[in-house]
Amino acid sequence: MGSARAGSSPAFPIYWHERGGRLKVKTNQLESCEVQLIIELEAEQLNQAKGAAARRLARRVNIPGFRKGKAPYNVILQHVGEDRIVENAVDDLGRRVYKEALAQTELNPFAPGNLVDASLEDTPTFTFNVPLSPSVNLGDYRAVRVKHQPVEVADDAVAEAMGRLQAEHALLEPIKRPAQLGDVLTIDAHGTLNHGDEDAETLADEKDMDLLLEAESEWPMPGLTGKLVGMEIDEIREFELRFPEDYANENLAGQRVHWTINCKGAKSRTLPEMNDEFAVLVSAEHETLLELRVAVREQLEQAATAQKSREYRREVVDAVLQGCEVSFPPIMLRERVNNLVKEQESALRSRGLTLPDYLKVENKSEEEYRAEVEPDAVAQLQRSLMLTEIVEAESLAVDGKQVDEHIEKTAAPFGDSADKIRAMLRKGNGRRSVELDLLTEIALARLEAIGKGEAPELPPKAKPEAAADATDDSGAETAEDTPAAAADSE
């Protein structure tokens, strides 16, 4: 969204604010929760500011023939230069008139204003862009309904999970015979794309990799396991394979790969029989195979329910956002983009890379990358601010007991380090972060209930209409200090 510049046609009407104040102030309502303050001064005010600036500068420099701070203006002007005096005067005068203009216009800025223009001609004029609190109008969010499909776990999924358990408990025994399907080989594998060509590059370089020889295996590429049947320990094989033309990864489809495989070990693999003894082998909590199957089904249902809930919540959030009006000042967007860039830098550092390295590979400038992540930043801010308003509209809250229980649940798995984690989470920003996480979860759960038509009735004082009228107060915190800020990955 654009903003009106000083001297251009304003996006919204201009209002004059004098009301007994000594400043002549115009307010121009810009888009995106910003107001432009245009402050007109008398020339004498600027002259006085320049004189005060000269005296301040004179106290910091040595001027021959004068004590510090005692030289006349013209002498100071010759010694330090007019540009330095004017710059100092504008900084000081700008701060003072900005503060006075805020009081005169009764504006309550969300963050410090930005001086965008200072005209020092016959009528000195200072122009500031002042960010205002974000605004959220939830609309008729309680009328939102999203179809919900119940979770079903198919028998095939249970059988597949049981098969994975069976494979995890397989008996592996060293062999000296040639390898056959069903065996596990320990290999060093080096694969080169387009071997011998100028554009050759390494596809894989694995050491001591365990590979199960299965006829239908497509990892690390289709057909490779078949080439290893019959291998023996210390044998080295070289061969070429080609990815199918219809391979899912278009970058690899049709490409040829030269492989060098060194067999360093071989084991037979015997799967345990599916019976009650197998159930006990998997876990002492189960005495029979039936009990194990029931437990596996329950685990799959829990996982599927949790995944379905996350997906359903996203759908409801999207549906609510479609009926919302969310606006925020540009400074919030800049901060969120900055955070996304920092998150990328942190992720890259964990891989031994830097952001300049990444941008060079991607052939992008930092400005282009920031523009690329801006839509994500906008979506995250809209979601975050909407959820914050849901907390307010639905009168949601967490108490100290809930926070303490969550801290204990978070810290307990850390064993010997649990006390340090508890101490970190119990004070200051740590505790606030836990509170925000809980509020986010509660808000998302409430939206899930609304989408299903199962939300409890609101008390009269918290009806959505009343909450929507109070949206001007919804942005008193930054986006990173809202209940939804930690849930962008939901």
* Per-residue three-class SS string for the chain: CCCCCCCCCCCCCEEEECCCCCCEEEEEEECCCEEEEEEECCHHHHHHHHHHHHHHHHCCCCCCCCCCCCCCHHHHHHHHCHHHHHHHHHHHHHHHHHHHHHHHHCCCCCCCCEEEEEECCCCCEEEEEEECCCEEECCCHHHCCCCCCCCCCCHHHHHHHHHHHHHHCCEEEECCCCCCCCCEEEEEEEEEECCCCCCCEEEEEEEEEEEECCCCCCCCCCCHHHHHCCCCCCCEEEEEEECCCCCCCCCCCCCEEEEEEEEEEEEEEECCCCCHHHHHHHCCCCCCHHHHHHHHHHHHHHHHHHHHHHHHHHHHHHHHHHCCEEECCHHHHHHHHHHHHHHHHHHHHCCCCCHHHHHHHHCCCHHHHHHHHHHHHHHHHHHHHHHHHHHHHCCCCCCHHHHHHHHHHHHHHHHHHHHHHHHHHCCHHHHHHHHHHHHHHHHHHHHHHHHHCCCCCCCHHHCHHHHHHCHHHCCCCCHHHCCCHHHCCC
Determine the pLDDT at residue 77.
85
Determine the pLDDT at residue 464.
53
Determine the pLDDT at residue 215.
87
174 phi/psi in degrees, rounded to 5: -60, 145
User: Is residue 158 within 8 Å of residue 296, measured between CB atoms?
Assistant: yes
Distance between CA 371 and CA 407 in Å, rounded? Answer: 38
Distance between CA 414 and CA 408 in Å, rounded? Answer: 10
406: its two tokens = 């969550």
Question: Among the CATH numbers 3.90.400.10, 3.40.1360.10, 1.10.3120.10, 3.30.70.260, which is that of 304-487?
Answer: 1.10.3120.10
Distance between CA 66 and CA 288 in Å, rounded? Answer: 101
Distance between CA 239 and CA 224 in Å, rounded? Answer: 9
Distance between CA 434 and CA 394 in Å, rounded? Answer: 20
User: Is residue 228 within 8 Å of residue 237, measured between CB atoms?
Assistant: yes
Q: How far is CA 187 from CA 179, 182, 206, 228, 258, in A?
A: 12, 15, 8, 10, 16
Distance between CA 230 and CA 263 in Å, rounded? Answer: 11
Determine the pLDDT at residue 480.
52
Q: Which amino acid is at 437?
A: D
125 phi/psi in degrees, rounded to 5: -135, 130
Expressed in angstroms, the distance from the first to the final Cα of the chain is 27
Q: Would you give per-residue pLDDT tens digits along the chain (490 residues)? A: 333 333 333 333 444 454 445 689 999 999 889 999 999 998 898 989 988 988 888 888 888 878 776 788 888 888 888 889 899 999 999 999 999 999 999 999 999 999 999 998 888 999 999 999 999 999 999 999 999 998 999 999 999 999 999 999 999 999 999 999 999 999 999 999 988 788 889 999 999 999 999 988 888 899 999 999 999 999 999 999 999 999 988 889 999 999 999 999 999 999 999 999 999 999 999 999 999 999 999 999 999 999 999 999 999 999 999 999 999 999 999 999 999 999 999 999 998 889 998 898 889 999 999 999 999 999 999 999 999 999 999 999 999 999 999 999 999 999 999 999 999 999 889 999 999 999 999 999 999 999 999 999 987 765 555 444 433 443 344 445 555 554 454 4
Domain spanning 172-270, CATH architecture: Roll (3.10)
Determine the pLDDT at residue 484.
52
Distance between CA 340 and CA 342 in Å, rounded? Answer: 5
Distance between CA 96 and CA 90 in Å, rounded? Answer: 10
Determine the pLDDT at residue 482.
59
Determine the pLDDT at residue 222.
93
Q: Which fold has domain 14-132?
A: Alpha-Beta Plaits (3.30.70)
Spell out the residues 6+ positions from residue 424 whose beta carbon is closer than 8 angstroms to its own.
Answer: 430
Domain extents for the chain?
Answer: 14-132, 172-270, 304-487
Give exposure, 252-271, as e/b (b: 16+ Cβ within 10 Å). eeebebbbebbbeebbbeee
